[in-house]
Structure 1
Amino acid sequence: MDEMRGWRTNRQIRMGYSGDMYDLPALKWTQSSFIQPQMMMEDRYFYDPDSGKYTVDRYLDDTEKRYGGIDSVLIWHTYTNIGIDDRNQYDLIRDMPGGIPAVKQMVSDFHRRGVKVFFPVMVWDQGTRDEEKPNWTATAEMMKEIGADGVNGDTMDGIPKAFSDAALKINHPLALEPEAFPGHDEMLAWNTMSWGYWTYPYAPDVSRSKWLEPRAMVNVSARWSHSKTEYLQAAFFNGVGFESWENVWGIWNGITPRDGEAIRRMATMERGLAPFLVSKDWQPYYTTESRGLFASYWPLNSEAVWTLVNRSDYVMQGELLRVKSAPAGSKFFDVYHGVELTPRMDGQDALLSFTVEPNGYGAILQVPGALSAAQQTLLTKMRSITQKPLESYSAEWNFIPQTLVEIPTTKATSQALEGMTKIPAATYRFRVNGIEIEGRDDVGVDFQYPWEPSPRRYHDHIVNIDTFWMDTNLVTNEQFKKFIDATHYKPKDAKNFLRDWKGDTYPVSWADKPVTWVSLEDARAYAKWAGKRLPHEWEWQYAAQGTDDRKYPWGNTWSAEAVPVVDKGRRLTSPDAVGAHPKGASSFGIQDLVGNVWQWTDEYEDDHTRAAVLRGGSYYQPGGSIWYFPQAYRNDEHGKFLLMAPSEDRSGAVGFRCATDAQ
């Protein structure tokens, strides 16, 4: 321990370290923000598109029921959808349902429940619309406007001091939480929080940032793991928190009942013992009386706490902890079980007998006399929630199934409607894969077709397709205006609806360009009015591919002449007129299947996420980052676009075409 303390002193001197930010009253809460989920804004527990309301209470009630609640929440509003068009990370907050006023109220709803709110900052977002001010200024101003408490630095191993300075300058201090840390120890002075991506050996590692600054909060992250035991034990040993991340880019990696109960118990103890867990005299690897039981010692004035983790698969019981030179009159309590312990004295040492469950947790509290009211409340609560052993809760992990949202059939016709092409019946081998950047081929990634037992990235199935009619061209602005004029259609959520139009009409010379800035709901409304429907994805792909398994609608070799010129600027221009690239037609004569605008097809949903299958890619490709929504130009690729609300879902690079059923 002397060597570890000496190293810490040496590093702090070399860093020129100051802990002033940790003394700032506005940021004291970070030192007890133990449980924080990253939550996708598209999560169905967070927002209800039918009522047009944020459902913060529903979201928080669910976390409390399953794992004891949260201290802060990171609302993820950008990746995976950012880059579908030129809206930047700040625009996507502005486009959240209800705009800034509703977002501000949503943040207040979290505060009402005692939960702090984070949003991410993407310093890599330099290919979309220029905000025309530095990231740190734009971030600080936006967080102040909506009342948020902190920012998470996506892909960052330390958030630059400029972000802290910008927030302080406008009198709105922000908790800075890089995704990983430390990239540079010096950044610990203003990064009061971070995530933890650690290794998990038998003897738990000591957090570098927590050792350098005991008041620093780490939330250990385990986004893809189905079992959280390793991560939770490492967090408890270090007196830090956990990133209870379940909705991973629209893929539900749910916490098991056993892990949920472990989080509840761990977090309850940490919240109740929070003042101890920032002790500058923290001593990891306090000697225990049993191999495989690891302890950290947290002295505070005349009291002390030990946090313990059992790294073995069997129960530990008996005399497990020796308190050396225990002060006379000390009382000891098994916090985990909520009971007082009677020590056996061995000279000046107190030997404590208690039980720690297999792969379980324990905490010992030492006080010089009577318990405080808060300590007594903690023991009472722990005694109540630990009546059942952890091993009685299921550790089995399961994916959640998806269902295809029905597309009602149309009146079957034997004659083509104007502008439609007949696609003959076929027994078609439908092979397609998702282009998601993350997730590998884990169960839950991408979609679950009606014939599949689970969601997965790669799909291969023989589909019997009946004869149908497909729009030869994408629906144009002129055609959509006829629908508006005939029906006076006004969406309930109208933000961004036909955003390129001026007043009630499209720009001059845009009549034959594909209509964009229409949501999936808007497209369905048009199709119903026209006596049509949106195509199923496999119909769309068959119309593009035929039966010869070609890579692109026109053949197996990419042709720049078959598609619009790619736009890599920071502002959207406009799609090309429909039919402007006849060399891109499929074997059936369908135009603009690839490279002009993305096209709405099917929608899938599960308990937490709605997502649309987008086909064909678009002309717009913001540059400078691998994290923007990727293109899917090949016939055997599709995009998964997470859905929240029409205001957010509409895009200047997404349009649609229709289909009808044939006799």
Structure 2
Amino acid sequence: MSLRSQEQGSARVIQAVPWKVRAWRELEAGRERIQAMLAPLPEAELMRQHSPLMSPLVWDVAHVANYEEQWLLRALGAPAFTDPAFDAIYDAFRHPRNTRSTLPLLEPEAAWAYATRVRAAVAAHLETLPEDSADPLLHGGFVFGMVAQHAQQHAETLAATLQLMTHVEYHPVEALRPQPGAVPQHEVFIPGGPVRLGSDDPWAYDNERPRHVVELAPFLLDAHPVTTGDFLVFVESGGYEDPRWWDPKGFAWIQAENIRHPLFWIPQGHHVWLRRRFGTVEPLPKDEPVQHVSWYEADAYARWAGKRLPTEAEWEKAAQGSDGVSRAHPWGGAAPTDAHANLGGTRWGPSPVGSHPSSRSADGVWGLLGDVWEWTASDFQPYAGFRAFPYREYSEVFFGDTSKVLRGGAWASAPVAVRNSFRNWDFPIRRQIFAGFRCARDVK
């Protein structure tokens, strides 16, 4: 169901309330993106478990719809129209990804029908909701932002599943990639001093709150992410064989798994490398940010280069700028466009570094948002004063020293879920995600 199909019945109510307009637009964008991504695949491939790391694709379709039903209908006072026992099948915390293919999943046609029924009910219920409410779920449309971002996060997860898929070829239709001139890597000096971290935006997640100030020493940060060509030098110089560069746990892991290069790279001998990108095998593009590297690989490269990974506070200061101005994005408050960043999944891979000159931060750092998630040195921990909302399982249960923070979003991330303060996290061995990095260095 599109916004256009709802105009006659709900346009006056929705258009009168800015957060409702935004909420509906973002909900529809997420639905349309997932439908377009999965439309080329036959039903058998939607039901198949393509990797133990990922769910069957159809599980995500119904899970997103079930999450929408729970939070935009039941949590806001609308009656349920599915058996609550149905929730258990699509509970991400009850069933690990590698077991979900054994569940009694809705088949694709039924999953899409369920999603359509939920969306129609949400459209009707949205009209009845007040513009202002004391309910924290409705303040600024928070819960609608949470659900819209959740859908787009699953679209990114689906993209990772499609990349892992080998049973059937998948050739996405992609937008043309920019072809900028070569841009040299260099370091940008970031002055020390205070930086205000976090966000009070109505759609920010609990782990981005509360806003707070920290003091940082001055540091140097790479102007661009580390490229595939940069990383290739590390690979071909024996970086994966030399324990000097590796966290001991990371070196034990790559030895046990016989890892000698980033995921999806294909060595051909005589310094010739290919990569598999979805259904295409192509020459390794040396001017793109390297992706599909784990935290351990990023950390090892940084040590080899005589540098280190930035902390997440340093990363956010670089994104905010050192002039004290509060910015939602490195370039300011304007929403991301194609001039600013490679986001939204239209290109199906990173763009060459330097493709988005409008991305530059106030201090001159490029490409902090989009292209690849950037690993940081920081463990995923709560900010002082953190309060779980609206449920512990979004952030709180993941806090600790087992996950590392990623910042900035990737080419597969949606603009609605990308901002200076957004915090992603994953295990340091994860490589199927669209992750890269840039390096930092202390000022001596």
Q: Please, what TM-score do these two structures have when normalized by structure 2?
A: 0.49
User: Between Structure 1 and Structure 2, whose CA radius of gyration is higher?
Assistant: 1
Higher helix share: 2
Identify, as 1 or 2, the structure richer in strand: 1
Q: TM-score, normalised by structure 1?
A: 0.34
